[in-house]
Amino acid sequence: MASVLECIKTRRSVRKYKDQTVSKDLLKQIVEAGLYAASGKGKQAPVIITITNKDLISEITKVNAEIMGSPNTDTFYGAPVIILVAGSLKANEKTAFADGTLALGNMMIAAHSLGLGSCWINRAKEGLKYDVYKDIFHSIGLNADEFIGVGHLALGYPEGELPAAAPRLPQREFYID
């Protein structure tokens, strides 16, 4: 397994996936990386919902494409897994969104370290207002109205090589001694 620093640098957003399922064991390792992310006041606001049901993935994709204003687009790139992250406003309203982004970041690095690819897919905040999301929350005993949608990951085995990273823009690091 590559070092953490190597994984951070070589991770890329994956937009083409193999038609191959991801084992529960790997999914749990990735989710665990999200669960262990730092959180405001240690309140652990993020919830992480892993979806492999094909019909549900289609429904979420439909809603996501509609929110994006491009109906009939596969905004999840045919990934066999969607990981939805939302932040509990009851746990920590002030940091729920930031906490969720960190959980997503951890999971992207973890997925890459395990040979999987991922891509952040936006529009979860808007998504939570839709029935399909409300029903997902209801089915696991949660109320979507008590959460802020943070983001999704499309996840699966990458098809093809990962692209090179874009060069890092200048004027983004400063050191004050």
Is 92 or 152 the residue whose CB approaches ligand FMN more closely?
Answer: 152
- C-alpha pair distances (Å), 49 with each of 34, 69, 87, 135: 11, 25, 11, 13
Does position 12 interact with ligand FMN (CB under 6 A)? The reply is: yes
CB of residue 177 to ligand FMN, shortest distance in Å = 30
Footprint (CB under 6 A) of ligand FMN, residues 95-154: 119-122
- Give the number of other CB atoms < 10 A from CB of residue 15: 17
Nearer to ligand FMN, 110 or 119 (CB): 119
Q: How many residues bind ligand FMN (CB under 6 A)?
A: 8
Q: Rounded distance, CA 78 to CA 84, Å?
A: 16
Stretch that binds ligand FMN, among 8-16, 36-44, 55-63, 133-141 (CB under 6 A): 8-16
CB of 25 to ligand FMN, least distance (A): 25
- Determine the Cα–Cα distance for residues 4 and 41; give it in Å rounded to an integer: 25
Q: Which residues contact 63 (CB under 8 A, 6 or more apart)?
A: 127, 130, 132, 133
Q: Which spans of this chain sit near ligand FMN (rule: CB under 6 A)?
A: 12-13, 15, 119-122, 165
